[in-house]
Amino acid sequence: MQFYLQVLNYDVQKMKGISMNNIIDVINSGKIFTACFTKKDGSERVMNCRTKVSKGVTGKGMSYDPSNLGYLVVYDLKINDFRMINLNTLKWVKAEGNVYYA
């Protein structure tokens, strides 16, 4: 984790340990944030994304609720498509000028 913080020039002094519910509250605001988590294949992903995006939504919905499985649906700003963050493997989130680690 220290490596990513140095590469991305994050201020280590601003890191705050808070509960997962508080992290979810911060990122569900619809503002842009950066998240680092472990993917299913074991590799690490750092993603700039946001929630509450309606672009490309047809209204049909999903056949399951991702939150029941520990996932958060976000819009990846680099790929311009929806992705899911596994909240069980979330390492840190940078939002509103602060870095929150899980």
CATH number of the domain residue 72 falls in:
2.30.30.520
DSSP character at residue 102? -
CB 37 within 8 A of CB 91: yes
What range does the domain containing 14 cover? 2-101
Counting Cα atoms < 13 Å in the Cβ hemisphere of 92 gives 19
Whose CA is closest to 5, among 102, 96, 67, 94? 94
- Per residue in 30-81, pLDDT tens? 889 999 999 999 999 999 999 888 777 777 777 788 888 889 889 999 999 8
- Select the more confidently predicted residue: 38 or 28: 38
Looking at residue 97, its amino acid is: G
pTM of the model: 0.74
